[in-house]
Structure 1
């Protein structure tokens, strides 16, 4: 096997292990390249079908093209699609774009809190009705005991402290200093009752690995990643008030692969266009301790 084959094989193995070990399992889909690769791997792992509900946290500040992409491929790939939101914060305008909270507080309200309560089933969830082509209130409020996430260790500092199977408590709080050892591809999947587990099949992948895999597999991704003629593209996707593009003339996947191989971004963080990271001093550890993806 070549390098990408080995990565794919390991990720598929982790996906199958997670599916066999955890009863109520979900998979987070941020609509970005990493979580989209994760969906693609799940389709491979389960022979074209994704037997795990996909969960998206809708802040209502995502770039519109991202939501269009989500719904298009959720329907095309026949995905069991769920989204959640922090309706209270949105209705009371406790957001950064409304000028009432900081970027980090906004991320906590619209992402971390919304994610926690969506996974726990405390707040309303919306499920795609494939027959009608619309989202409806989900009557199933059962909590997810495990969730698969497209986190990569090289993407941001706090993510490098994760494990493939990373336990949280029932409030989704992450004790990053108390994680189980994982040696020789041996993973701990037996946790005490009430433990919420995050599973990270892409932990060893790099940004270049992701794009080379997208190139090899011809995976459709949001066009925001490509230069549309203005000499700029998004390297990392988030909410539009806090995400800026990078200078780049890469117009397709092949261009991005070549650009990364030149080392153009070798000393520039992948999330350098995410303003909330700078507000947090360059790291997201505190937010991630509270459940931020």
Structure 2
């Protein structure tokens, strides 16, 4: 096996372990490159079928192409697609674009809080009806006791502190000092009742691994990652008001891999275009402790 094969096999193993060990499991899909690779691996793990609901936290400020890509693949791949959002914060304009919060407070409202309440089922969930192609309110939603997430250790500092199987409390809060040891590919999966578990199959992957795999597998990606002719593209995707593109003429996965291998971005953090990171001093530890993805 080559390097990508080893990464793929380990990730598929973790996905299957999670599915066999935890009830009411879901998978987060942000429509970004990492979570789309995670979705592709899940399809491989279960021979083309994804037996888990795909959950997207819709802040209402995502770039339109992202939502279009989500719904197109959900229909094409017959995914059990669900989204949730903080409707009260949006209605009351408790957001940064409305000028009433900082970017970090906006992330807490539209991402962290929405994620918690969507996963535990206390706020409405909207599930795609594949007969109509429309989203409908899910009736009697049960809490998800675990969620598979596409975070990588090298993407941002706090993510390097994660485990493959990372326990959270009933509020999704993360205690960095109470992480289980994971040695020799042995994982703890027997947690106390009431524990919410985040599963991270991509923890060992690097940014260049992701793009090499996208190239090898020909995974369909949202077009925002590629130069459309103006000499810019997005390296990391988030909400439109808080995400800037980078200068790049790469229009294919192969060209992105060449950029990463050449060192073009060697001194530029992957999330450098995400303005909430700058506001938070370059770290997201407090946000992640409170449930941020």
What CA deviation, in whole Å up to 9, does each residue of 1:131-181 have, x standing for no partner? 111000001310000000000000000000000000000000000121000
Pairing 1:53-64 to 2, within 5 Å after superposition = 53-64=53-64
- 1:71 is matched with which residue? 71
Task: Please state if 1:280 is matched with 2:255.
Answer: no
In the alignment, the residues of structure 2 paired with residue 179 and residue 260 of structure 1 have an alpha-carbon distance, to the nearest angstrom, of 32
In the alignment, the residues of structure 2 paired with residue 256 and residue 200 of structure 1 have an alpha-carbon distance, to the nearest angstrom, of 24
- 1:155 is matched with which residue? 155
In the alignment, the residues of structure 1 paired with residue 281 and residue 46 of structure 2 have an alpha-carbon distance, to the nearest angstrom, of 40
Q: Note the residue ranges of structure 1 that are not aligned, 5 or more in a row.
A: none
SS class of match (1:20): helix
In the alignment, the residues of structure 1 paired with residue 267 and residue 4 of structure 2 have an alpha-carbon distance, to the nearest angstrom, of 24
Runs of 4+ more than 3 Å apart: none
SS class of match (2:286): helix
- 2:6 is matched with which residue? 6
SS class of match (2:205): coil
SS class of match (1:100): coil
In the alignment, the residues of structure 1 paired with residue 269 and residue 175 of structure 2 have an alpha-carbon distance, to the nearest angstrom, of 25
In the alignment, the residues of structure 1 paired with residue 176 and residue 275 of structure 2 have an alpha-carbon distance, to the nearest angstrom, of 24
What CA deviation, in whole Å up to 9, does each residue of 1:33-61 have, x standing for no partner? 00000000000000000001000000000
Task: Please state if 1:242 is matched with 2:242.
Answer: yes
- 1:95 is matched with which residue? 95
Task: Please state if 1:228 is matched with 2:228.
Answer: yes
What CA deviation, in whole Å up to 9, does each residue of 1:55-84 have, x standing for no partner? 000000000000000000000000000000
In the alignment, the residues of structure 1 paired with residue 134 and residue 243 of structure 2 have an alpha-carbon distance, to the nearest angstrom, of 28
In the alignment, the residues of structure 2 paired with residue 2 and residue 140 of structure 1 have an alpha-carbon distance, to the nearest angstrom, of 46
Pairing 1:1-293 to 2, within 5 Å after superposition = 1-293=1-293
In the alignment, the residues of structure 2 paired with residue 166 and residue 178 of structure 1 have an alpha-carbon distance, to the nearest angstrom, of 9
Q: TM-score, normalised by structure 1?
A: 1.00
SS class of match (1:69): helix
Superposed CA RMSD: 0.4
* Matched length: 293
SS class of match (1:127): strand
SS class of match (1:128): strand
SS class of match (2:55): strand
